[in-house]
Chain A
Amino acid sequence: GAGVSQSPSNKVTEKGKDVELRCDPISGHTALYWYRQSLGQGLEFLIYFQGNSAPDKSGLPSDRFSAERTGGSVSTLTIQRTQQEDSAVYLCASSLDRGDTEAFFGQGTRLTVV
């Protein structure tokens, strides 16, 4: 597709369940980022992938969060044993190369943990 695609667009899950969020970056973009926006809060960085380099996981809030990027393209963000405080909009962005090029954002996945 022409833009960054995220799925699902909305996800409601019960506390304690695992969820997987998917991001399809723009074809050819080597950099991929996950961000989170909690209700009433600003955006916060979660994880960054650049090509084949080890990802920058410094923003992941706990060990319940993990992400992988297969084949340098699609990325999956997994949250295990979800908690209510995990409720947020999870945004994926990609850019052509390093972070000093334009970033393109997906529409986000709104996660609600009940």
Chain B
Amino acid sequence: KNEVEQSPQNLTAQEGEFITINCSYSVGISALHWLQQHPGGGIVSLFMLSSGKKKHGRLIATINIQEKHSSLHITASHPRDSAVYICAVIKANFGNEKLTFGTGTRLTIIP
């Protein structure tokens, strides 16, 4: 079983819909990243969070440390949001700073 699980694996929605992507993890973490990978392969870090909630434009990320769960929300989705969204965690072991990745959620927004 992967230490980081994402759902859904694929998501297709109409432009304007509210999108939620979920990430569950089974290890103690010090931080969690949400990454966006564009069709060309480039990766952009959207959020890094260790508690609570962060908002940037139409994107919102939340994390519940007790439940080992994080969600990424996109409001008023747009075709340019189409990408693979990847959840990645940093395990809470000192000196073990490498990211452990989920398998990604492929989001397609239809005009």
Contacts and interface: CB of A to CB of B under 8 A. Distances in A.
Main secondary structure of the interface of B (DSSP, over half): strand
Interface residues of B, number: 25
A93 to B, nearest CB: 8
Main secondary structure of the interface of A (DSSP, over half): strand
Given A56-B98, A99-B31, A102-B48, 10 more contacts: A42-B86, A42-B104, A48-B97, A48-B98, A50-B97, A99-B98, A100-B48, A103-B48, A103-B99, A110-B41
A58 B40 CA distance: 28
13 contacts: A31-B97, A33-B98, A37-B41, A42-B104, A43-B88, A99-B31, A99-B90, A99-B98, A105-B35, A107-B41, A108-B41, A108-B43, A110-B41
A44 interface: yes
Interface string B78-106: 00000000101010000111111111100
A45 B30 contact: no
Interface of A: 31, 33, 35, 37, 42-45, 48, 50, 56, 58-59, 89, 91, 93, 98-105, 107-108, 110
B87 to A, nearest CB: 11
Given A89-B41, A100-B90, A107-B41, A45 B48 contact: no
Nearest to B31: A100
A100 B50 contact: yes
Interface of B: 30-31, 33, 35, 40-45, 48, 50, 86, 88, 90, 95-104
Contacts of A42: 86, 101-104
Contacts of B97: 31, 48, 50, 56, 98-100
A47 B95 CA distance: 13
Contacts of B98: 33, 45, 48, 56, 58-59, 99
Contacts of B86: 42-43
Given A100-B31, A100-B90, A108-B41, A45 B96 contact: no
